[in-house]
Amino acid sequence: MHNINLEIFNESLARCTKDPGFMDVFYEKFISESQQIKKHFKNTDMERQKKMLLHSLANMVIAYERPEILSDVAVKHDARHLNVMPELYVTWLECLIEAAKITDPLFNDEVERSWRIVMQNGIDYLISQRNS
């Protein structure tokens, strides 16, 4: 079961990233979720940010089995630095899934479940390290 989730996720991610609109859809949805998020991205170089997101998604895949790979990301996002609140990870994931629904032509319940399972391990780790 465990490898099936990863395989389904990786195939979906590959389909999503083939669509040049995937990142735009994600960031449009994510930034429009709240004034707090909008403010955070106000002066952001979005092309650089999109590359960082691709890198983050690759790290989340590794974190599915080895969450400690995210230790540097956890520090950057913790309460003393960017102060990413735990609920923002929920919003982040929901916006990613919405973008995947739009850009992955084979998106279905099983694909959605794989996104949730693969991403959640990394999200749980980031949240657990928030006040460390």
What's the pTM?
0.87
Mean pLDDT, rounded, of the chain: 88
Task: Classify 83 in phi/psi space as left (phi over 0), alpha (psi -120 to 50) or beta.
Answer: left
Residue type, 84: V
Residues contacting 41, CB < 8 A, separation 6+? 27, 31, 49
72-125 confidence digits (pLDDT tens): 776 675 655 565 677 888 999 999 999 999 999 999 999 999 999 999 988 888
Handedness of CA 90, 63, 78, 27 (dihedral sign): negative
Indicate the class that CATH gives domain 2-128.
Answer: mainly alpha
Instruction: Provide the 3-class DSSP secondary structure of residue 87.
Output: helix
- Tokens for 15? 């389909």
